[in-house]
Structure formats: structure tokens, C-alpha cells
A and B are shown apart, each in its own frame.
Chain A
Amino acid sequence: GAGVSQTPSNKVTEKGKYVELRCDPISGHTALYWYRQSLGQGPEFLIYFQGTGAADDSGLPNDRFFAVRPEGSVSTLKIQRTERGDSAVYLCASSPGTFSYNEQFFGPGTRLTVL
């Protein structure tokens, strides 16, 4: 079946611009996660959705970052006034369960470059 998909695969923008990154989770998965992976580092947790609500946004680095999941499926990560330090691969993951740990399945990521 279809896995997690993310669009665009690559995004180049200029400092100060606004960007939106999209994640389509596996159908039926209620949990959705966003991670950020900088060069030479492991992924770092940003935010977790259970259904439509953000259950934990403790990983968002500052208020320029925001994410939504209005219908409990597709999610959009929004970054305002981008900075060069925001350059990274943004990974989305989904998992089926809510009451115990289920494997998180990752999408291919969006590579964001801020010039």
C-alpha cells in the first residue's frame, strides 16, 4: 500500500520568505509526527498530532513554526520568516495506534534550503 508521502521533495527559498511543507500520512493512521534532520544529525522531534489536535508541540523551535492537521489526515508544517538555520530535511511520520507504541513510518522528507 501507499506509504507516507511528502511534498515538495525539495524547496529552495530566500531568507525571510514563508514556506509550507505537506505530509500525507498512511491512510487510517491517527498519529502524525514532524521531525527535523540537520546535516550529520539524527532526526529531532518537532510536533505530534493525535487526530486533528496537536498533542505535543514542545519540539517546535520558536513561534515562526506552526503546523496544522485540520481534518485529521493531511498535515502542513508552516515556517514564517525563514532563516538560513532552518535549512534541513523535514520528515513526517505516521503511526496507527494511540494507546500503545506503534511503529512510526517515515516519509521521504522535504529538503528545505534557505538562501
Chain B
Amino acid sequence: RKEVEQDPGPFNVPEGATVAFNCTYSNSASQSFFWYRQDCRKEPKLLMSVYSSGNEDGRFTAQLNRASQYISLLIRDSKLSDSATYLCVVLQDSGGSNYKLTFGKGTLLTVNP
């Protein structure tokens, strides 16, 4: 089983739609959780951290369920500029202060006019 698994996608949605991304992780000792965004042929960039209480940043809402080892990202009122690959990322402390990021495969989102 992969350490971080995401919806395979791709997702094609019209502007204004709500879209949800799901992710599960296998290591129960994982400490922190993130969603990264990666535009085509660009580097990954941090979109938002994910907290146990759930957190929101404008149109983006992230949720974490530690018991189920499940992470989600919801995008409301999607824009053309939201088109990108969304990467679910899990942080583990692998010792020696090495905070190793483990990435899922990513889910490609295309928002259509």
C-alpha cells in the first residue's frame, strides 16, 4: 500500500463548481499534513496546512480525520486559475530533525469556462 493515496482524477469541472479531493495515509505516526499545488511544469507550492479542527482559507477548506487517516480539500466557486495538480502531503519526523515530506501522486483539476 502506498504511504499517501489520492483520488486518481483527473477532474474536469465548470467554473463556479465545488470540487473535493480525498486522500488517505498509511503511517499513523504522521505528524503534519498539507495540500500543495503544482502548476504544469512548475514546482510544487504550499497551498495550505491541514489541522485536526479543520481550517479554511477563502474558498479552500481542509479537513483531517486522524482516526480514519483521511485528509480532504474542498474548493468552492472554482476559478479557471484553480486549474493545477493538487498534491496531498504528509510529514513524518524520520529522526535527526529530518522532517520528511511524503507526497501523493496528485490529482489534476481542470476548471473549464
Contact = CB atoms under 8 A, between A and B. Distances in A.
Interface in B65-89: 87, 89
Interface string A33-54: 1010000111111001010000
Nearest to B108: A40
Contacts of B101: 33, 35, 43, 45, 104
A108 interface: yes
A91 B43 contact: yes
A71 interface: no
Given A42-B87, A56-B95, A48 B100 contact: yes
Contacts of A45: 100-102
Nearest to B32: A101
Most chain A beta carbons < 10 A, residue from B44, B94, B102: B44
B43 A107 contact: yes
Interface residues of A, number: 23
B94 A56 contact: yes
A42 B108 CA distance: 12
Contacts of A42: 4, 87, 89, 103-106
Contacts of A35: 101
A35 B102 CA distance: 10
Contact of B43 (A48, A50, A98, A106): A106
A45 B3 CA distance: 13
Interface of A: 33, 35, 40-45, 48, 50, 55-56, 58, 91, 98-99, 101, 103-104, 106-109
